[in-house]
Amino acid sequence: MHDDRTLVEARLKRVLDERIRPAVYPESVPLDVAVWHAPGEPVPVAEGLAAPVEPIGVGTRWGAPWGTSWFRVTGTVPEAWAGRTVEALLDLGFDENMPGFQCEGLVHRPDGTPVKGLNPRNQWVRIGSHVEGGESVDLRIEAASNPVILDYRPFRPTQLGDRETAGGEPQYRLARMDLAVFDETVWQLVLDLEVLGELMAELPVESARRWEILRAVERALDAVDLQDVGGSAEQARSQLTEVLASPAAPSAHRISAVGHAHIDSAWLWPLRETVRKVARTTSNMTALIEDEPEFVFAMSQAQQWAWVKEHRPEVWARVKKTVAEGRFVPAGGMWVESDTNMPGSEAMARQFVHGKRFFLDEFGIENDEAWLPDTFGFAAGLPQIIKAAGSKWLLTQKISWSRTNKFPHHTFLWEGIDGTRIFTHFPPVDTYNCSMKGSEIAHAARNFKDKGVARHSLAPTGWGDGGGGTTREMVAKAARLRDLEGSATVVWETPEEFFKKAEAEYPHPPVWVGELYLELHRATLTSQAKTKQGNRRSEHLLREAELWAATAAVRTGFPYPYQDLDRIWKTVLLHQFHDILPGSSIAWVHREARATYERIGGELTGIIEAAQRALAGEGAVPLVFNAAPHARCGVPAGGAGTPAGSGEVSLVQRADGGFVLTNDLLRVEIDARGLVVSSYDIEADRETIAPGHAANLLQLHPDFPNMWDAWDVDEFYRNTVTDLLDVREIVPGEDGASVRIVRSFSASQVTQVLSLAPGERRLEIDTEVDWHETEKFLKLAFPLDLHAERYASETQFGHFYRPTHTNTSWEAAKFEACNHRFVHVEEPGWGVAVVNDSTYGHDVTRTVRKTDAGTTTTVRVSLLRAPRFPDPETDQGVHRFRHALVPGATIGDAVREGWRINLPERRLTGAHEVTPLVTVAEDAVVLTAVKLADDGSGDVIARFHESRGGRTRATLTADFEVAAVTPTDLLERPLGDAAIPDHEGNRITLRLRPFELVTLRLERA
C-alpha cells in the first residue's frame, strides 16, 4: 500500500479548521449590546446591573487597564429555530491562546443570578436545548479588562502592572456577540476527529493501530458533505464508531483526571481581581457539574473558598450544593498554595491549621492531601508538618520544571528532617493545566518513571494560572479516552480516590530524603526584599502577640484577642502565596503588600504593648521583655526582668587605617576599606576570616537571566563580579562601640554600622542600601577559614545539610539556596554562624588556597536584585538589613542567635518582673508557640521541637496549675495513638527524637 499518511493528516487538519468546526454554529443572528464602564474599582453586582448603559457595536474598543465594564446583551430567538439548541456566543475580544491572562467576564441574569464565566476558551452561554422560538434573551456581563502582562514576547518591562501607572488606553476590541444554533452532532464529530487525530499522531508509524485510525478518519472525511456538514455529520461519525470502541490494552497506563483550575491568588493581577477570577471559575465549574454526570472538580486554597463565601454568596450556594454531592472537592487543606521554602515554622503549620479548619467547619471534610502543583520547591521540614496536620499525601508538578536534573520518580515516599515519610506524587503529564490533548496523555504514559511496579498517575485538568477551569470539550475528550486502544485510560476521580489506588498498588515505593529543590526560580529567595521583610517581621510579631497575650490572659484576665489574631494570621498566610512572598507578582501586588504589612505590624505591636503593660503593672522597675525561646542576659525565655551587666566594648584605631572592636570574647579588625580582615575568637584562639580575604564584602553582579526575570538567577551571573571596595566614610559610631561605613556605587549608596555587643561573641552588621540599580544582584560575603564539606541551613522546625562541594550535577545545581534565620559552617569542635533578620537567599562555596593549602569556605548572603519584569521598579529605594557573624558558634548557638536577631528585646518600666508562662529546661528544645487554644477553652497550647538534630530529654514547666496534658495535632485535636507524657503537677517530662515536633494542650485547673 502506498504511504499516503501525510496526505490524510493534512486533509484532516484543513477540513476540521475550515469546514467542520465552523459548522458547529451553522446559523447566527447579532445581539444588541450596550455598556456601562465603572469609573473606578469594581462595584457590587446590584450597582452594575442598575447602571445606565449606552449602545456599543462589535469592533469597538473597550476596557481601560484593570477596568470593569458591565455589558447588557439582548435579543430574541428567531421563530425559525424552534426545536433547536441555541447558545449565545460572547467574545469580548479574546485571544484563545491566553485563557486566564486576558479579559474575562461573569454572565448574570437580570436578577443578578450568576450563569457562568467567560474566557478565551469558554465563550458560550446555553439559552435553551429545545427552544420554542421567540424567547427573549437578556444577559448581563461583568467584564474585567485585565491587561496582558505576559505576552507573546514575554518578560518585557511594562507599566501595566499597577493601576497607578497603567494609563487609560482601551485594551480590547469587542468581537462576536451573537445568538447561534448549536449543532451538537457536528460538535461531537469535531471531538471524535480531534481525539483520534491526536492519538494517531502519538502512535508509532509502523503500528497497525495508527493505520486503522488513519483509514477510519479517511472514511469519515469522505462521508462529510462539505456543503452540508450538519446533514452529513451523523454518517461521518458512524465511520469512526469501531475505532472509538476498540478497548485499551490491559497494561495501559491509568490516568485519574481531576477537574482543576490552578488560580494564582495573586500574580499578574492583584488580589481583588483573584476574588472575581474565583467567582467566574466556580460558576463555570458548578454549571459543568450539572451538565456532566461523571465530572469531578477539585479546588484548593481555603482563602479562595472564603472569598466566594464573603463576596459572592449566590455563587457560594451553588458551590455548597455540589460539594454536598461529592463532585466539587475541597483539596489541599492549606490556606493558600504557599511558598514552602521561606515561611517560618509556625507559619507553615498555620497554613494547614487555617486551611483544614475552614474545610472542616464549612463542609465537615478532612483533607488527607497537600496540594501544591506550582510551588517553587519544597523545604525539608515539610513532611512532618503535613503529618502533624493529620494529612498523609502530597501532590506537586513543579519539580518537572527543573533544568539540570530529571527527578527519578513520579510516585515515592518523601522523607523529612525528622524521618517522617509522606506518600508523594508528581503527575507525569508535566502540567497542572492539562487539556486532554492526545500529546499530553501520551506524554504522561511514556514519561511515567514507575512502570512495572505502578500504573496510576493523576492529571489536573483545566485552564489555570488565571483560572477558567475545565471545559466541556475536555470532558468530552476524557469520555472518549476512558477505554481507547492505543491510549492511556482516563477516568474522573477525586484526589482521595487517586491516592488510595496509587498507594494500594505501590506498597514499597522508593524514598527521597531531604529537600525537593527546584532547579529553577532561585531568585525568588531575594526578589522584592520588602515583601520578604514584611513576612519575617509579621511572623515574629505574631509569636510575640500570642505569647504575651496568653501570659497576660492567664495571669491577669487580659482579653485574649482571638478574632484579631485569627484575621491577622490569615492575612500573613495569604501573602505567603507562591507568587507574593517569592516576589514574582506585579507592582500592584507588592505595593499593597507593603501597606498591609505596615498595618498589621501596627496592630500586632498594639496587642503586644497592651499585654506587656497588663503583665508589668505600673511602676518604675526597668524591665526587658524577652520573647525569644532562650534566656538572654539573665532574662528568662518568655519572661521579663532586669538584664545582668555583661562587660564592655573598646574601640581603637588601627595603625594603617580602620578600627579594632574588642570585648572579652572577640576582637574584630576593620580595615580602611571598611572590610573585616580579622574576627578573632579569643577564647578558642582561633581566627575566623580566611587569610588574604576580607569579610563584610559587598559584591555586585550583572543579573539578566535568560527568562523569568523576577524568578530566575542563572549560574553565569557569577562570571562577572565587582567588589565594592571604595569607601566614602569610615568613622566611629556615636555609641563608641561601633564603626560606621558609607559607600557609593553607580546610583546607589550603602551605609553600614558594625558593632560588638558586650559579653557576646557576635559581630552585628546593620546595612542600609539606597538601591537604584537595574538588573544587578547584590551579595554580602563572609570568607571563612573553615574546612567543611557541608553546612547547616535552618528550615521549618530544624535544619538540614547541603554540601559545599559540587561533585555531582545535583549539588552544582544548588548554587542559590534558602535558609531561614541562620547558616552554620563547622569543623569538628569549632564553627561559625551567619544569622539574619530578613534575608533568605544565599550561596556557600569552597576553595583551596595556594598560599597555605587551607580551605576557604565562603558564605554569601543575597541582599537585593533589580529585575524589570513583572515589576519594572523592583526593589528601588531604601532597604535595611541586619546580619551577625558569630565565630565559635555551635549549632545550638546558631539557633539561639537566629532567634535573638529576629526578636529584639522590648523595654518598659513596671512594678515587677514577669515569670514565663511555660518554660523548657533543655536548651536544645525550642518553644515555637505559646498561645491559648483556638477553641476558646482557655487551655494553653505549647508547641516545641528538638532543634539540634539529636535526642534529648526535656522538662516543660507551666507556671499555672495543670489539670491534664494532651498531645495534639496542629489543629489542637487529641492524638489518639500518642503516649501521654509523664507529668507531676505542672512539670511535664518528655523524650524527643531529632527534630521531633510536639504540640501539647495544657488544661488549666
Q: Which residues are catalytic?
A: 374
CA–CA gap between residue 643 and residue 624 (Å, rounded): 7
CA–CA gap between residue 657 and residue 264 (Å, rounded): 54
Residues facing residue 987 across a β-bridge: 957, 984
Residues facing residue 41 across a β-bridge: none
In 3D space, the residue among 662, 674, 624 whose CA is nearest the CA of residue 900 turns out to be: 624
The torsion defined by the Cα of 943, 947, 952 and 958, in degrees rounded to 10, comes to -30
CA–CA gap between residue 563 and residue 566 (Å, rounded): 5
CA–CA gap between residue 449 and residue 426 (Å, rounded): 10
The b-or-e profile of 418-440 (16+ CB within 10 A means b, else e) is bebbbbbbbbbbbbbbbbbbbeb
Category of 900 on φ-ψ map: left (φ > 0), alpha (ψ -120 to 50) or beta: alpha
CA–CA gap between residue 442 and residue 487 (Å, rounded): 7
Radius of gyration over alpha carbons of the chain, in Å?
Answer: 31
For helices 5-15 and 208-223, angle between their N-to-C axes, nearest 10 degrees: 40
CA 512 to chain centre: 22
Which residue has 538601591 as its cell numbers?
771
If DSSP codes are grouped into helix, strand and coil, which group holds residue 295?
coil
If DSSP codes are grouped into helix, strand and coil, which group holds residue 1002?
strand
Amino acid at residue number 270: P
DSSP state at residue 525: G
Element (H, E) at 414: strand 411-415
Distance (Å) of CA 840 to CA 299, 486, 825, 951: 30, 48, 16, 28
In 3D space, the residue among 834, 699, 835, 845 whose CA is nearest the CA of residue 773 turns out to be: 699
For 935, other C-beta atoms within 10 Å of its C-beta total: 12
Beta carbons of 895 and 947 less than 8 angstroms apart = yes
Residue 1003 burial class via C-beta count within 10 angstroms: exposed 0-12, middle 13-18, buried 19 and up:
middle
Amino acid at residue number 1003: E
The b-or-e profile of 552-574 (16+ CB within 10 A means b, else e) is bbbbeebebbeebbeebbbbbbb
CA–CA gap between residue 69 and residue 178 (Å, rounded): 19
For helices 472-480 and 184-202, angle between their N-to-C axes, nearest 10 degrees: 60
**How many helices (H) and strands (E) in the chain?**
19, 53
What contacts 538, CB < 8 A, 6 or more positions away? 568, 572, 597, 600, 601, 604
DSSP state at residue 422: E
User: What is the phi/psi pair of residue 830, to 5°?
Assistant: -155, 135
CA 43 to chain centre: 29
Beta carbons of 696 and 782 less than 8 angstroms apart = yes
CA–CA gap between residue 277 and residue 847 (Å, rounded): 51
CA 528 to chain centre: 15
What contacts 951, CB < 8 A, 6 or more positions away? 991, 992, 993, 994
Instruction: Specify the pairing of strand 511-513 against strand 411-415.
Output: parallel
CA–CA gap between residue 110 and residue 141 (Å, rounded): 10
CA–CA gap between residue 669 and residue 677 (Å, rounded): 6
Amino acid at residue number 853: A
Beta carbons of 835 and 846 less than 8 angstroms apart = no
